[in-house]
Structure 1
Amino acid sequence: MKRFDHILRTMSFVLCIGTASVAVPAQSLPEAVSTNGLLYMTGGIGEDEAKAFLSLAPRYSLRMMFTSPGGGYLADVGVRIADAGGKTLLDTRTEGPFLYIMLPAGRYRIIANAGGPEVARWVSVPRRGGADLHLSVEERAARGTNASCLRCRPSVGL
């Protein structure tokens, strides 16, 4: 009977630890937002949140990452996504270096701005798998400082 109690306590402990470790990344991620029927999420500040974002990448058809020309991650980037006909589908600011969105297959124009010159790219989202887009965006330095996402960890890539 003692052995059974010991096994039961050990299994309960393992289940509690496993549940806690699974719940942590979900709590640290921002919630997905729905705009114009499109689900997206933005963030990725800090190593843990960046890793959690990368683990969710397969769920989104377009995965974007924003960096400065020097390679540092950027947050607070203005992003506009338009369809091939020029209709704006999303106009938002990032809350970290990643923006993941669920778009139907098609061709889209991405325009990003961090205070410097706008960067525009065309991207094709396939029916299966999705597309990755890395945009290097120049920023305008605020009062002689670099406005890069200082808490972002460039060691975790897309």
Structure 2
Amino acid sequence: MSLTTTPLSLFSHARPVAAATGAALLVLLGGALAAQPAQAAVNPTIHMTHGVEYMSGGIGQDEAQLMETVSPRWPASFEFAIKDGRRADFAAGVHVTVRDSHGTALLDNVVSGGPFMVARLEPGRYEVEARIGGQTLRQTLQVSPGAPAKAVFEWPAGTDMASAGTRTVR
């Protein structure tokens, strides 16, 4: 065998059918491996309460990227973090309540599955509460037609994380 031997010539001593079968197997195997994604991100589950769809997640780089990609397609998005000035810990397990302008809770104490949450809220003004441990932050959120609204909740370093999870971001 010479140094210029091609992979197909390795089968030259076998019958032509075996050579073709071996070559086809190599092509199929190579194509199948190339077609597989390194790791496919799975969409977090969409939940519904009081007629409002919402989704939360962002644990892990793939899921965080997915949540950031889909958030502009949802009328409202929320982000949760604990900051100390130089770095941030993304927070999960945040208890979220969203009330409409009449004070009716549309999302009532739902727990985020990660540092990002999106919701299909109708245009209007909402009061949003986000709670980690014993510390609650409140913001007003104005949802306008065709323009996604975002609220970022940042607790100071040292926030009691007894009932929530975190992930450091640098």
> Which TM-score bucket, shorter chain as reference?
0.7 to 0.9
Name the counterpart of 1:113: 131
Structure 1 regions of 5+ residues with no counterpart? none
Q: Give the structure with the larger strand fraction.
A: 2
Name the counterpart of 1:140: 160
Change (3 A) 1:105 1:42: same
Name the counterpart of 1:49: 63
TM superposition score normalised by structure 1: 0.76
TM superposition score normalised by structure 2: 0.71
Partners of 1:22 and 1:63 in 2: how far apart? Answer: 28
Partners of 1:124 and 1:108 in 2: how far apart? Answer: 6
Counterpart of 1:85 in structure 2: which amino acid? H
- Write out the 4+ residue segments of structure 1 that deviate beyond 2 Å after TM superposition: 20-23, 152-155
Name the counterpart of 1:97: 115
Structure 2 regions of 5+ residues with no counterpart? 1-19
Post-superposition Cα deviations, 1:51-84, rounded to whole Å, max 9, x if no partner, equal 0111111221111100013221001111000001
SS at match of 1:57: helix
Tell me how large the CA RMSD over aligned residues is. 2.8
Question: What is the aligned-residue identity percentage?
Answer: 27
Deviation of residue 113 (structure 1)?
Answer: 0.7
Counterpart of 2:89 in structure 1: which amino acid? G
Post-superposition Cα deviations, 1:62-119, rounded to whole Å, max 9, x if no partner, equal 1110001322100111100000110000020111100110111100000011013211
CA contact (8 A) 1:46 1:153 kept: no
Q: Would you say how many aligned residue pairs link Structure 1 and Structure 2?
A: 140
